[in-house]
Amino acid sequence: MRSFLIFVALAVLGAIYLWQKHNEMPSSAGKPAAISIAQPTPAPRGQASEYNWMKRSIDRARDVTEKSRARTKESQDP
């Protein structure tokens, strides 16, 4: 009896899968996409909005890193 219930459950799941595949919208895999997704242009460094604290944090970290590298290079050059 238990194996019969498992078989019925698998048959129902298979039928649902086939029904969904049959009613699925056809994909346009062969056609080139006419819609292009525009990539947002990043703000110039240091000009993030006041509400974009993540961007400001990243910009500040990048500036500090560049200054530190420049200072280290300056001190190593005679």
What is the model's pTM? 0.37
Q: Quick check: 59 and 46 in contact, CB under 8 A? A: yes
Q: Contacts for 2-7 with beta carbons within 8 Å, 24 or more apart? A: none
Tens of pLDDT along the chain (78 residues) come to 889 999 999 999 999 999 998 887 766 555 555 566 666 666 666 666 667 888 888 888 999 999 999 999 999 987
Q: Quick check: 45 and 59 in contact, CB under 8 A? A: yes
